Chain A
Amino acid sequence: MPVNPKGEAVAPAPTTAGAPGSKAKRSTRKLRASALVAATAAAVLALTACGGGGGSDAKSADGKVELRFAWWGGDKRAQVTQAAIAAFEAENPNIKIKPEYGDWSGYWDKLATQVAANDAPDIIQMDEKYITEYSTRGALLDLSKYDVDTSKLDEAALDAGKGEKGLTGIAAGINAATILANPAVFQAAGVALPDDKTWTWEDFERISAEVTAKSPKGTYGAAAYGTDEASLGVWLRQNGKSLYTEDGKLGFEPSDIAEWWSFLKELSEKKAVPSASEVVEAEAAPLDQSGLATGKNGLAFWWSNQLPALEKAAGGELQILRFPSKTGKAADAKLWYKASQFWSASSRTKHPEETAKFINFLTNNVKAGEALLADRGVYPNSEVREAIAPKLAKADVKVVDFIDQIKSELGDAPAAPPKGAGAIQEIVKRYTSEVLFNRLSTEEAGKKAVDEMKSAIS
């Protein structure tokens, strides 16, 4: 905001230009006096500052404990999470959970600030990209030291939350990188949906281009990839590389990512995916205004757990597809189970027992499962998963079935994202647009991007 509102207050002053002399006299001794005031102010500041800092100690007179619970996500998630909170509060009348939720992008800025200000929420929904960052820096509680039952959790899901600082996150759900299809778009174009067990990247290109050609202007066969690193991860795995190595380094070379961009450029030239400008605009759109939800894209890259929310936004059915592979064999798609999110706790929480109790409830209590269903992915607790199966909506069932179906085809679990991995998405996104706008060649972009990524995670 460039305009200083004070400007207007000063400007009308010229009317009193008659007596500048009298004002001129008042300018002396300002310094000494102001020094005095400054000293007083500093003293007051010092006094008040001692009392400040730290989060609110929320134990009120009646013995109630208030915990703050932060997550990112849309309306649907807010609804189901509130329902889970209500179920917990009914069982634990002495604990009150105060929700704080918002968008993905704002979430991390806010969380960083809150943690820095020693005002972190007690319960934090974490992502794998950030968990190492926060846990190695001591911001997260080691939940293994508290009463959280992990015996019913799938081993892979449990391991994902373990790090050098102990168990700092418990998987809230399992999901997988997928391609979602909007059958309505395919139908309108008169193109058959691909068979995801046999399709290759060439098929992906051909089919998407065909849908674009047979659709009205502004509708494309597929959304562009390149706006985050998940699809890059799949691509790399199919080429025998990985995003990260076990020792926290980058798992690929500039030429690998350059190849990925070359294919994207090819897709763009064949109009299989939207124009560069449209890709940039789509990045900023929230889930319910995404190309897939608004019927502008036939195919798009999403996590499996996002299907129900997207179906709701699209107002019609969507279909989950495996990623294409190089060979046309589903097992070569190299998908993996990802912990969709983690339940973490702030290491500075004043009520670790109560916080752990809530996380335990979310993880193991059927009532929590009945509220949350599959919004955060498939429940990692096998007992809860079975118990809630009859309650799942049609969209949720699709997600659960898909996760089951690909079990036998999965590749090795990828290495956990290292510290600094939160910056990778932004780098990928930026160089994708450099490439799409032809401002850099794919080789140059690859080299620069890898340099930046290396310094981000070093």
Chain B
Amino acid sequence: MSAIGELSTMTRRKGPMTKEEKKANGRDNKAAYVFLLPWLLGLAVITVGPMLMSLYLSFTDYNLLQPPEWVGLDNFVRMFGDARLHNSLRVTFTYVLVGVPLQLAVALVIALVLDKGLRGLPFYRSIFYLPSLLGGSVAVAILWKQIFGTTGLVNQVLAMVGIEGPGWISDPNTALGSIILLHVWTFGSPMIIFLAGLRQIPVMYYEAAKVDGATTLQQFWRITLPMLSPIIFFNLVLQIIGSFQSFTQAFIVSGGNGGPSDSTMFFTLYLYQKGFGQFDMGYASAMAWLLLVIIGVFTAINFIASKYWVFYDD
């Protein structure tokens, strides 16, 4: 019932194709590739080319100003002793493992509320979606900085009830938390997807459950969640991949340095600093490949685990 469900069926072939079918297929394919050509060119030039280049650079010492020098696995070996890299991994994992589930939970709850046939649904949907469009933007990160600053809106409100709040984004103990909150706030995207998914669940299941005397909570656990699991899985995969690569929020909120005290030093931010701040592009490239492997492993785990909890109704 979902794109991912289809993916899993696509790989299963049912019997050999006839000659006619093959021919038709070939024609179809050719036409498709002609139409895809602009995109494929873009992929080659903008994505694959630079990726191969960075793979090469990851085995070199490259300071941007002079030609790269081959150093083999040196960059990767250096990673083991780099405490700041380990810290950046810790920060990024915290961000992903806390931020993603939290964001999806919020998205699901809001989607459930909106799905109850609210009047003016398109309006609310747009309102809730708005942060998603803005959340990754520089403007909102700057706004965030103002709101959570020492004398920002949050602390002004807290002061009214007599609490002296910390400098949320300038205190190493709360800085990452406020960036996670910014991430959660951009729940609109998964919410829209959840809404679409909820609309797909046949009403008859709920009617039948009601007849059998199931409570709303039971209906949620027994019908909504299982039926929605492919969508949850889809959102989870997307969000995890995206969150590992988060950069903008931390860059802007911390003023580009991952501070205070490296508490918001995301992996990508450290990579950027290494590459462009410290002229260590070889190492930065190696870091990029480490990130790719990490994301790959996480996605693989996700897919393997999905067998045990994702329910395809087909």
| A positions within 8 Å CB-CB of B | 1-5, 7-8, 10-15, 17, 20-21, 23-30, 33-34, 37-38, 41-42, 44-45, 48, 105, 108-109, 112-113, 115-116, 133-134, 137-139, 218, 275-278, 280-281, 283-284, 420, 422-423, 426, 429-430, 433-434, 437, 439, 456
Within 8 A of A (CB), among B183-222: 183, 186, 188-190, 192-193, 196-197, 200
* A116 in contact with B65 given A1-B135, A2-B246, A20-B9 (CB within 8 Å): yes
Q: Out of A12, A25, A33, A281, name the residue touching B170 (CB < 8 Å).
A: A281
* A37 in contact with B259 given A45-B44, A112-B279 (CB within 8 Å): no
A11 near B135 with CB under 8 A, answer no
| B positions within 8 Å CB-CB of A | 1-3, 5-6, 9-14, 17, 21-22, 25-26, 28-30, 33, 36-37, 40-41, 43-45, 49, 63-66, 99, 132, 135-136, 145, 149-151, 166-167, 169-172, 183, 186, 188-190, 192-193, 196-197, 200, 231, 234-235, 238-239, 241-243, 245-248, 254-257, 259-262, 272-273, 276-279, 281, 314
**Can you pick out 23 interface pairs between chain A and chain B where the beta carbons lie within 8 Å of each other?**
A1-B135, A1-B242, A1-B246, A2-B245, A4-B242, A7-B189, A11-B192, A17-B5, A17-B6, A24-B10, A24-B13, A27-B13, A28-B25, A29-B22, A45-B41, A45-B49, A112-B279, A113-B64, A116-B64, A137-B65, A137-B66, A138-B66, A280-B167
A137 to B166, CA, bound (A): 45
A14 near B242 with CB under 8 A, answer no
A27 near B10 with CB under 8 A, answer yes
A113 near B276 with CB under 8 A, answer yes
A116 near B281 with CB under 8 A, answer yes
A4 near B44 with CB under 8 A, answer no
A193 to B72, CA, bound (A): 60
Q: Interface SS of chain A: helix, strand, loop or mixed?
A: helix
Q: Out of B136, B200, B261, name the residue touching A1 (CB < 8 Å).
A: B136
Q: Nearest-CB distance from A303 to chain B (Å)? A: 20
Residue ID in chain A nearest B84 by CB atoms: A452
Please indicate the chain A residues that have their CB under 8 angstroms from the CB of B255 in the complex.
Answer: 105, 283-284
A20 to B312, CA, bound (A): 13
Please indicate the chain A residues that have their CB under 8 angstroms from the CB of B242 in the complex.
Answer: 1-4
* A433 in contact with B136 given A7-B189, A12-B196, A42-B44 (CB within 8 Å): no
Besides A42-B44, A277-B167, 5 new A-B residue pairs in contact (Cβ under 8 A), listed by A number: A25-B13, A27-B10, A28-B17, A275-B150, A281-B169
A358 to B245, CA, bound (A): 43
Specify which of A27, A44, A48, A133 lies most central, judged by the most chain B CB atoms within 10 Å of its CB.
Answer: A27
Q: Out of B6, B14, B63, name the residue touching A13 (CB < 8 Å).
A: B6
Residue ID in chain B nearest A108 by CB atoms: B277
A14 near B277 with CB under 8 A, answer no
Q: Nearest-CB distance from A454 to chain B (Å)? A: 14
A172 to B152, CA, bound (A): 40
B64 near A3 with CB under 8 A, answer no
Please indicate the chain B residues that have their CB under 8 angstroms from the CB of A33 in the complex.
Answer: 29-30, 33
B44 near A41 with CB under 8 A, answer yes
Please indicate the chain B residues that have their CB under 8 angstroms from the CB of A116 in the complex.
Answer: 64-65, 281
Please indicate the chain A residues that have their CB under 8 angstroms from the CB of B11 in the complex.
Answer: 27
Residue ID in chain A nearest B256 by CB atoms: A105
Please indicate the chain A residues that have their CB under 8 angstroms from the CB of B29 in the complex.
Answer: 26, 29-30, 33
Q: Nearest-CB distance from B23 to chain A (Å)? A: 11
* A24 in contact with B12 given A2-B246, A11-B197, A430-B257 (CB within 8 Å): yes
Q: Interface SS of chain B: helix, strand, loop or mixed?
A: helix
Please indicate the chain B residues that have their CB under 8 angstroms from the CB of A139 in the complex.
Answer: 65
Q: Nearest-CB distance from A3 to chain B (Å)? A: 4
Residue ID in chain A nearest B230 by CB atoms: A14
Q: Out of B40, B135, B314, name the residue touching A41 (CB < 8 Å).
A: B40
Please indicate the chain B residues that have their CB under 8 angstroms from the CB of A34 in the complex.
Answer: 33
What 9 A-B pairs are tightest by C-beta distance, nearest first?
Answer: A277-B167, A1-B136, A284-B255, A2-B242, A280-B170, A116-B64, A137-B65, A3-B189, A41-B44
Q: Nearest-CB distance from B186 to chain A (Å)? A: 6
Please indicate the chain A residues that have their CB under 8 angstroms from the CB of B243 in the complex.
Answer: 2
Q: Out of A28, A42, A134, A281, name the residue touching B13 (CB < 8 Å).
A: A28
Please indicate the chain A residues that have their CB under 8 angstroms from the CB of B37 in the complex.
Answer: 37
A430 near B238 with CB under 8 A, answer no
Please indicate the chain A residues that have their CB under 8 angstroms from the CB of B261 in the complex.
Answer: 430, 433-434, 437, 439
Residue ID in chain B nearest A1 by CB atoms: B136
Q: Out of A3, A284, A429, name the residue touching B186 (CB < 8 Å).
A: A3
B196 near A11 with CB under 8 A, answer yes
B234 near A138 with CB under 8 A, answer no
B9 near A24 with CB under 8 A, answer yes
Specify which of B26, B189, B239, B314 lies most central, judged by the most chain A CB atoms within 10 Å of its CB.
Answer: B189
Q: Nearest-CB distance from B192 to chain A (Å)? A: 6
Q: Nearest-CB distance from A346 to chain B (Å)? A: 11
Q: Nearest-CB distance from B20 to chain A (Å)? A: 12
A198 to B193, CA, bound (A): 69
A278 to B151, CA, bound (A): 9
A430 to B257, CA, bound (A): 9
Please indicate the chain A residues that have their CB under 8 angstroms from the CB of B12 in the complex.
Answer: 24
A8 near B193 with CB under 8 A, answer yes
